[in-house]
Structure 1
Amino acid sequence: MPTVTLPPKENALFKRILRCYEHKQYRNGLKFCKQILSNPKFAEHGETLAMKGLTLNCLGKKEEAYDLVRRGLRNDLRSHVCILIYPGSRCSCQRREICARHSINVILTKAPKSTRLFAGGVPPVLLVSPVTVGLWQKPVCPVLVLYLRASLWRIQSSITLKSCTALCTPHPGWCALQHKHTRFIQKARIGAVGSCFHNCAAPGWHVYGLLQRSDKKYDEAIKCYRNALKWDKDNLQILRDLSLLQIQMRDLEGYRETRYQLLQLRPAQRASWIGYAIAYHLLEDYEMAAKIIEEFRKTQQTSPDKVDYEYSELLLYQNQVLREAGLYKEALEHLSNYEKQICDKLAVEETRGELLLKLGRLDEATEVYHCLQERNPENWTYYHGLEKALKPSSMEEKCKIYEEAWEKFPKGLVPRRLPLNFLLGDKFRECLDRYLRMNFSKGCPPVFTTLKSLYASKEKVTMVEELVVGYETSLKSCRMFNPNDDGKEEPPTTLLWVQYFLAQHYDMIGQQTLSLEYINAAIESTPTLIELFLIKAKIYKHAGNIREAVRWMDEAQALDTADRFINSKCAKYMLKAGMIKEAEEMCSKFTREGASAVENLNEMQCMWFQTECALAYKNMNKFGEALKKCHEIERHFVEITDDQFDFHTYCMRKMTLRSYVDLLKLEDVLRMHPFYYKAAVTAIQMYLSLHDNPLIDDNKELQADTANLSDKELKKLRNKQRRAQKKAQLEEEKKNAEKEKQLKNQKKKKEDDDEEIGGPKEELIPEKLVKVENPLEEAVKFLTPLKHLVKEKIDTHLLAFEIYFRKEKYMLMLQSVKRAVAIDPDHPWLHQCLVRFFKGGMRARLCPHTFLTSASHSSLWSPSFPVSESKELPEVVRTVLKQEITRLFGDSNARSFNQAYLSKHSNSIPHRLAAAKMMVHLDPSAEPKAAELASALDQSLDNRTIQTCIEVLECLRSGALGDCKELVETYRDSCHRLFPYTLAFAPPGYEENSKIVNGDLSTETEELANEISSTFPLL
């Protein structure tokens, strides 16, 4: 409701403004605002100004929007609500005192004309509304300003006259205004002067809150809404908006209070009850939540025979709350009572099975899980539930469960697959034989994927290999799995799938030569099967030859250009090979026509592409472009978090309450997602590198280079620079033309929409991102979510150590290493961090080539004093550090600690490398010994994998282990003989881009390959 009562014409226009805003017809709304504000009488109408600002904000004009809303807020509080009170004036209800109920009706015309104009006579007392300086007319009268801060009233006198005195009573919500000529004190309750006060302040604060909310300043928006509620505590719209912000910010206590107010105001509305129940549910007061839902359910008049989806969801949600409260018996009774009214029968049976297991009613649970098996014999969960219900006491009884399932479901694969997890010896071989024969005969490509988990057991890996190699030999000779079989011959495709399986098997155990032989034989027999080319590309990728992998993946993509999965795989491999432009062209086959592939992929939140792009740019030392991709991924997660707003009201309206609660719980741990973790780690590594090696200004570097050049050399350099400048100019023109084309397409798209919603986001410019003033602070922004959500990964705490080491935050360094020690005390990177922490080097001088890889995270450090002996630290900090260092290291010094670590892990290459680095760090004269220690490639050593050898080679090349140029070539040649397909170990001239390093070698493949090779040296 407008503060100044608008005439019918303007009032109708104001209502149309509100409708236009609700229907997102922003430009029409601005036209109506202009019509009202163009009238001189209403040029400063507060609510119209506020609505105009809110509308402009939706069109991206934020500065103008804020100015208008603030101006509107001031004018709202400066308008006719300023009440002139004359001594002895009476209200229309004939009371002598100020009537709070009818204060706006005080008859002002009774005062003398001269008094009303403040020209003389008895000056009036002016009661002014909060948050403004009230002015009535010139010349200025005494003005009392009431300014609201933290729910207290503060009285100020902006102009002091002898004839006016301000007195404040003890109660903070009251003020007393006294004129020296009056015989009584006029009192007014500030919060109850009348509806006019509410109507003037609440809309302005509400609009200001909406503006803050649109800018994602949720805390400020909540403050605005609370201010609005002080003027209109029962405003439903403000309360609803406040509740949305509270649940968004997880202010659960505040959310509960707001939902309680809404329930009191609208007890007949379903959303009021549901919101209040959810508030208690999220606060983990399950019993109270269950009681509220039950009270609401009693008000619902639903026929027992009628099936209503929304009522069904309410019942399932109520049952979920009962289960989480631990009331399993009540939950089971509830499920039985309302089973007929629940639509999701599958959820009913699954829940019943879980409850019966928890209550120990195993016979009934067995019946339930048998019924579920018949419904879906391929669901692993049902078999696990049946095992819990039957409680088999021996392997034979456990196996009998699955034998019965085999007989009942002869075509089922799960009853044959699950026993492989626990069977051993001949029983395992027999079961595996039946499972593999069934899949090979059918031609089931993912059979190897289903058996991957078995590769943790060396015994089972051996049996798998013996069986499948036997199949291949027999199929070649007699087209049967075994020459002794009494059955029909297998089709030719069976041999194809056996070879396909063997190729994956040998790739898994690190035998790429055998793997390639099998896959080549399969391709020769069936050169049109896409899956074969895909596996061949994977083999080359795992072997360290990403270029060859790209070639074969591109071959697979060419066989079916309409297959989006293969297209995406090919693009991913191209990015790993540093072929960014080719990858973009590959992706453009499936992006929107007429738009840049990169922009469209960003718009679609295609994060796998952006993470791989970031890694590719990082490997090319293009940190600006890489950081841009990392920040784009961060923005995606912010958008996903903000998208919750759409569901806070929708889910309560549609009663999808179980999904809604799951969504809220998911959003709380959203940044645990691998995409965010990968992007955050990449960004942190680059920011640390930028801190250690700040970018040099090109002009300064050029001046330094040209100072020592002769005239002839300088002339050549200038010509070269001119050519480079011309080339760069042409590229820039081409880039601008493409950008102009994109902007044209975007503009056309916007014109097709009804309205443009929201302003443009701040552009991510690579040059600015890479020249950030404080890289460590930017790194902390990415680190903070990881510390809270991904604290079970040791890399999180070690990255934290690297940041705090550079910031010289000793207690945080200690916290990081202690958390890492609790996860894996023998981790190679952690060992380096511990030695550095103990030694207390304050500045790390890191080699960019070996910085922050998976096992190697430091190169050279300047020696310094022990941390615990630093005289710059407070006494308390030094005492704590000394105690904790004693606990971590005992009585040993840094060298003895490093030597003990080396002795303990002398058979592991990554651990030897970490110890060798620390050897050089502690004693530079030990470089030859350290290089020899790290470069050992004996067959008896563990973790002799491609990635580990690449790290050792890079350390030797970078000088992290001293000057050992001859050893570099010797070590490279040894690695090349060990891993002949890996480009990183290829001799010069073997490949043009021999510097490309395989960046995605599977960890499980590395570990398994090492274990298999040490156990089965003949493989």
Structure 2
Amino acid sequence: MPSSDPLPPKESALFRKLLKCYEMKQYKNGLKLAKQILSNPKYAEHGETLAMKGLTLNGLGRRDEAYKYVRLGLRKDLRSHVCWHVYGLLQRSDKKYDEAIKCYRNALKWEKDNLQILKDLSLLQIQMRDLEGYKETRHHLFTLRPSQHASWIGFAMSYHLIGDLEMANSILETFSQSQASIETHDYRHSELLLYQNQILIEAGNLQRALDHLHQYESQIVDKLAVQESVGDLHIKLGQPALAVPIFEELIRRNPENTLYYSQYFAAREFTEPADKLAAFKQFEEIYPRAMCPKRLPLDVASGDAFRAALDSYLRRGLRKGVPPLFVNVRVLHRNHEKAAIIEELALQYYENLTRSGHFSREDADANLPVEPASALVWTALFLAQHYDYKRDTEHALEYVNAAIEHTPTLIELFMTKGRIYKHAGDPVEAYMWMDEAQSMDTADRYINSKCAKYMLRANLVKEAEEICSKFTREGVTAMENLNEMQCMWFQTECALAYQRMGLWGDSLKKCHEVDRHFSEIIEDQFDFHTYCMRKMTLRAYIGLLRLEDVLRRHPFYFKAAKCAIEVYIRLYDKPLKSEETIEEIDSENLPPSELKKLRSKQRKAKKKAELESAQAAQAQVKREQHQKSKQQANQEADPEAPQLDELIPEKLERPDDPLDKAIEFLKPLQQLAKDRIETHLLAFEIYCRKNKILLMLQSIRRAIAIDATHSSIHACIARFAQALSKLTANGELNVSVQTVIDKATKELIGTKSVQQLNDEFVAQKSDSIMHLYEGARIMYELDPNKRNEAIKLITSFDINKVKLEEATKIFEALRSGAFGECTAELRQYRTTCQQRFKYARVFKDIADTESNAAANDVNHVDEKSKPNAISADEKTADL
């Protein structure tokens, strides 16, 4: 394009070569060419050449120099679209997309029809979801290049994204009609037609969508998508009879797709369980090897029909030794009647297999062949899993121990035993049994990962890292490699383990690493904006954009964000002191004899620290070498990738404003996880500490909208009322805020005092331990003299009606001093919980725990002398 400060022919040719070198990533040659131009005194301050030199330096990773030259070039030639475009590219490489968009807009002021600038601007606009701006840019590109496919597609997609589906469809319809000839198997055109059909369906034009599929069926390559869409449209249009043969054909094609069966029943208009069971029976006869016709009847059957179907299904699974058999029927336990039938049949199987080797007496009387010996083991395993689901630990251990005694080489038995102990509240014993299972098959990555997860639950981070190192890259620590691979399950479990151990900085480091992974995933979509348009994978592209919009709704992010918010709140309530401050306080308050001991201890600690620092220095050298090689590799792959700040635990655990840091993690949850009550309870905790009365009220209202009966809401309302009374007494509320607050307070509390509200709450919720716990805490906060009454309120509750998680929460509250000093009550409650949850480690005395651990170590040594296990595949089992 013409320049605002043109070069003579010789230098102009060199400048064109410089541009080509940059495009070919020949950065060193590009620098030589830039030097040749700038070495001429007449053009030593040529703005565009200076800007291109800076962009080339950025490709070599010399970011500071790059900004220097680009800004210098821009100052020398502010009217150059090239300089503004280059500055935008530099900002884009630093992920400063808003600034890059401003640069591109400035470039377009001087060159409004530049195709490359418009394309780059459109990419940033869709990345930042500036949909109106994206529509305008795509329209401009369409007017400049109406003959290009990408211009039509991008223009139509811009209207689709802003919700103008009719306009998007009309653009695609016009484009399809303008196509001269279509090849028989044109995949790109096929995807375009399916994308247009998706737009029609989203617009609610179902009949037009059906007609469109019939019209262009011969041109669509994805025949399966056509069948599924046509069948679904017939059902939605009230033409179920036409959908029946379609879904029969789809079931024949894939009899393991559960969606096809539900669509088939909708087409047949089956609502009665008897009709569905008869259909499943027919499909089972037609497709004897398929599992869906055998498993799905269990969801709709009841009574004798359920017993017969379940009997056939369980016998087949136990006879073949299917590891995830219990997982497949676990959902049926939500129905108490079905759960009772499952237990009854499994107990009958176990008794008859033990006595005669058959599943039932009828089989034995009929002299049928004896079941394989493994059937007894799998039945015992099934029963152990069943009782574990019911949290009947005694019976679960009884059956799993019997199975291990029968077949001590089956890995699934040891894994199940570890899971039983985990649910019983003993993470240490759980990890030891999982480690036993892992040692029996060290080449199985699944068991290795499960073992690492159980170790993290037991707060054994180093041991978990060592276990994972068996499957990570050599020459790099397992922790670094798992971070590179974005192994977020490991990092979230690490964060929670560090949180339990009080290592706040390490916990926050893992939370920030998970947050960075999600940021990287969002940034990685940038490459797909051009790829999907070029390859015409438009339906997948729209799905990608919609996924990225709600990405931080993922459970991994929620878990990490919740952990980070809780840690930041803890650091706000009890900020950490620097080491120097701690030493000064100790020196001032200690007597001479103790001070001498302290100095000696400090000298030893200093020597130890020096030794550790020397070792750390060596490790740092290796880490830097690895980091340098990794950066070089990254620059080769993406020379424009920005460098992230190093996460140092010591700095993270001493933030300047912990609540602001917590809000950074809270905002994505408020936007994307607003249907979870924990989000709003966490928001209340933050805003309560910041004295943001309106935001506290907003959090309470949102929590009530989700679950008005949640136990924590009452405590939030009580604390809100207390905070409000303090602000009102101090006269800190203006008239407008006071009006809003008065109206909301009247709805939430009425004219009652907090004390009256709490008394009524305790009286109404006397059958729920967690509601009583919240009421007791408010009772103690309002009047510390009622400490004994508050403690009695929760400790006198029937322990048999309390779950392990609830008892643990109450025990931790008593131990942490939430109800003041209560040593006697704590000891008594511990004893009560020991009798109810005798396997839970949290309620055991330290001495008992250590002696049990030593005994278990001996037992595990004996177990490891057994022969290696023969593993069955349990990849789908949920641990």
Separation in 2, partners of 1:940, 1:719: 52
CA contact (8 A) 1:59 1:759 kept: no
Separation in 1, partners of 2:684, 2:851: 35
My pick for the range that moved more, 210-219 or 233-242, is 210-219
Listed one character per residue, the Cα deviations across residues 675-697 of structure 1 (whole Å, up to 9, x for unaligned) are 11111111111111111111223
Separation in 2, partners of 1:303, 1:30: 47
Separation in 2, partners of 1:614, 1:823: 28
Residue type of the alignment partner of 2:460: M
Normalised by the size of structure 1, how large is the TM-score?
0.81
Question: In the TM superposition, what is the alpha-carbon distance from 1:554 to its structure 2 partner?
Answer: 1.2
Residue type of the alignment partner of 2:317: N
CA contact (8 A) 2:799 2:833 kept: no
Residues 751 and 245 of structure 1: CA distance in aligned 2, closer, same or farther (over 3 Å): closer
Residue type of the alignment partner of 1:61: R
Residues 280 and 39 of structure 1: CA distance in aligned 2, closer, same or farther (over 3 Å): same
Separation in 1, partners of 2:397, 2:782: 46
Indicate whether 1:395 and 2:396 are aligned: no
1:470 equivalent in structure 2 = 348
Listed one character per residue, the Cα deviations across residues 799-822 of structure 1 (whole Å, up to 9, x for unaligned) are 111111111111111111011111
Question: In the TM superposition, what is the alpha-carbon distance from 1:3 to its structure 2 partner?
Answer: 4.6
Separation in 1, partners of 2:611, 2:43: 56
Question: In the TM superposition, what is the alpha-carbon distance from 1:38 to its structure 2 partner?
Answer: 2.9
Separation in 2, partners of 1:819, 1:751: 48
Structure 2: unaligned runs, 5 residues or longer = 854-879
Structure showing greater relative contact order (alpha-carbon pairs closer than 8 Å, 6 or more residues apart): 2
Q: Tell me, what secondary structure is at the counterpart of 2:589?
A: coil
1:144 equivalent in structure 2 = none
Question: In the TM superposition, what is the alpha-carbon distance from 1:515 to its structure 2 partner?
Answer: 0.9
CA contact (8 A) 2:691 2:723 kept: no
CA contact (8 A) 1:838 1:867 kept: no
Q: Tell me, what secondary structure is at the counterpart of 1:912?
A: helix
- Of the two, which has the highest radius of gyration? 1
Residue type of the alignment partner of 1:268: S
Q: Tell me, what secondary structure is at the counterpart of 1:736?
A: helix
Question: In the TM superposition, what is the alpha-carbon distance from 1:729 to its structure 2 partner?
Answer: 1.9
2:615 equivalent in structure 1 = 734
CA contact (8 A) 1:420 1:432 kept: yes
Q: Tell me, what secondary structure is at the counterpart of 2:80?
A: helix
CA contact (8 A) 1:869 1:878 kept: no
Separation in 2, partners of 1:312, 1:416: 37
Identity %: 53
1:502 equivalent in structure 2 = 383
Separation in 2, partners of 1:23, 1:906: 74
Separation in 1, partners of 2:113, 2:444: 57
CA contact (8 A) 1:671 1:789 kept: yes
CA contact (8 A) 1:373 1:382 kept: yes
Normalised by the size of structure 2, how large is the TM-score?
0.93
Question: In the TM superposition, what is the alpha-carbon distance from 1:898 to its structure 2 partner?
Answer: 1.3
2:196 equivalent in structure 1 = 318
Residue type of the alignment partner of 2:506: E
**Aligned residue runs from structure 1 range 465-614, under 5 A:** 465-485=343-363, 486=366, 487-614=368-495
Q: Tell me, what secondary structure is at the counterpart of 1:528?
A: coil
1:878 equivalent in structure 2 = 738
Residue type of the alignment partner of 2:779: M
Question: In the TM superposition, what is the alpha-carbon distance from 1:920 to its structure 2 partner?
Answer: 0.3
Residue type of the alignment partner of 1:946: L
Listed one character per residue, the Cα deviations across residues 521-566 of structure 1 (whole Å, up to 9, x for unaligned) are 2222222222222111111111111111111111111122221111
Quick one: which of 654, 678, 697 aligns to 1:771? 654
Question: In the TM superposition, what is the alpha-carbon distance from 1:752 to its structure 2 partner?
Answer: 6.8
Structure showing the higher helix proportion among its residues = 2
1:953 equivalent in structure 2 = 811
Listed one character per residue, the Cα deviations across residues 314-350 of structure 1 (whole Å, up to 9, x for unaligned) are 1111111111111111111111122222222211111
Indicate whether 1:406 and 2:284 are aligned: yes
Residue type of the alignment partner of 2:732: E
Quick one: which of 917, 925, 940 aligns to 2:785? 925
Indicate whether 1:41 and 2:78 are aligned: no
2:539 equivalent in structure 1 = 658
Indicate whether 1:56 and 2:57 are aligned: yes
Separation in 1, partners of 2:244, 2:524: 42
Residues 59 and 683 of structure 1: CA distance in aligned 2, closer, same or farther (over 3 Å): farther
1:1002 equivalent in structure 2 = none
1:24 equivalent in structure 2 = 25
2:504 equivalent in structure 1 = 623
Separation in 2, partners of 1:299, 1:265: 18
Residue type of the alignment partner of 1:653: R
Separation in 2, partners of 1:457, 1:740: 60
Q: Tell me, what secondary structure is at the counterpart of 2:173?
A: helix
Question: In the TM superposition, what is the alpha-carbon distance from 1:866 to its structure 2 partner?
Answer: 5.5
Listed one character per residue, the Cα deviations across residues 652-681 of structure 1 (whole Å, up to 9, x for unaligned) are 000000000000000000000011111111
Separation in 1, partners of 2:796, 2:39: 85
Residue type of the alignment partner of 1:893: S
Separation in 1, partners of 2:840, 2:227: 54
Separation in 1, partners of 2:339, 2:607: 61
**Once superposed, what is the RMSD of the aligned Cα atoms?**
1.9
CA contact (8 A) 1:928 1:962 kept: no
My pick for the range that moved more, 815-824 or 330-339, is 330-339
My pick for the range that moved more, 518-527 or 788-797, is 518-527
Q: Tell me, what secondary structure is at the counterpart of 2:680?
A: helix
Question: In the TM superposition, what is the alpha-carbon distance from 1:443 to its structure 2 partner?
Answer: 1.6
Separation in 1, partners of 2:497, 2:799: 33
1:239 equivalent in structure 2 = 118
Question: In the TM superposition, what is the alpha-carbon distance from 1:415 to its structure 2 partner?
Answer: 1.6
My pick for the range that moved more, 822-831 or 789-798, is 822-831
1:102 equivalent in structure 2 = none
Separation in 2, partners of 1:601, 1:625: 15
Separation in 1, partners of 2:263, 2:832: 53
2:664 equivalent in structure 1 = 781
Listed one character per residue, the Cα deviations across residues 701-760 of structure 1 (whole Å, up to 9, x for unaligned) are 222222233333222211111111111222222122122113223434556788472353
CA contact (8 A) 1:983 1:994 kept: no
1:264 equivalent in structure 2 = 143
Q: Tell me, what secondary structure is at the counterpart of 2:77?
A: helix
Separation in 2, partners of 1:994, 1:764: 39
Separation in 2, partners of 1:13, 1:750: 31
Question: In the TM superposition, what is the alpha-carbon distance from 1:646 to its structure 2 partner?
Answer: 0.4
Listed one character per residue, the Cα deviations across residues 355-414 of structure 1 (whole Å, up to 9, x for unaligned) are 111111111111111111111111110111011111124332232222222222223221
Separation in 1, partners of 2:633, 2:659: 44
Residues 26 and 565 of structure 1: CA distance in aligned 2, closer, same or farther (over 3 Å): farther
Question: In the TM superposition, what is the alpha-carbon distance from 1:588 to its structure 2 partner?
Answer: 1.3
CA contact (8 A) 2:727 2:733 kept: no
Number of matched pairs: 847
Residues 584 and 8 of structure 1: CA distance in aligned 2, closer, same or farther (over 3 Å): farther
Question: In the TM superposition, what is the alpha-carbon distance from 1:421 to its structure 2 partner?
Answer: 1.8
My pick for the range that moved more, 366-375 or 712-721, is 712-721
Quick one: which of 159, 182, 201 aligns to 2:80? 201
2:868 equivalent in structure 1 = none
Question: In the TM superposition, what is the alpha-carbon distance from 1:940 to its structure 2 partner?
Answer: 6.1
Separation in 2, partners of 1:503, 1:906: 34
Residue type of the alignment partner of 1:390: R
CA contact (8 A) 1:3 1:46 kept: no
2:708 equivalent in structure 1 = 825
Separation in 2, partners of 1:613, 1:578: 8
Separation in 2, partners of 1:35, 1:826: 76
Listed one character per residue, the Cα deviations across residues 217-251 of structure 1 (whole Å, up to 9, x for unaligned) are 21121111111111111000000000001111111
**Aligned residue runs from structure 1 range 375-394, under 5 A:** 375-394=253-272
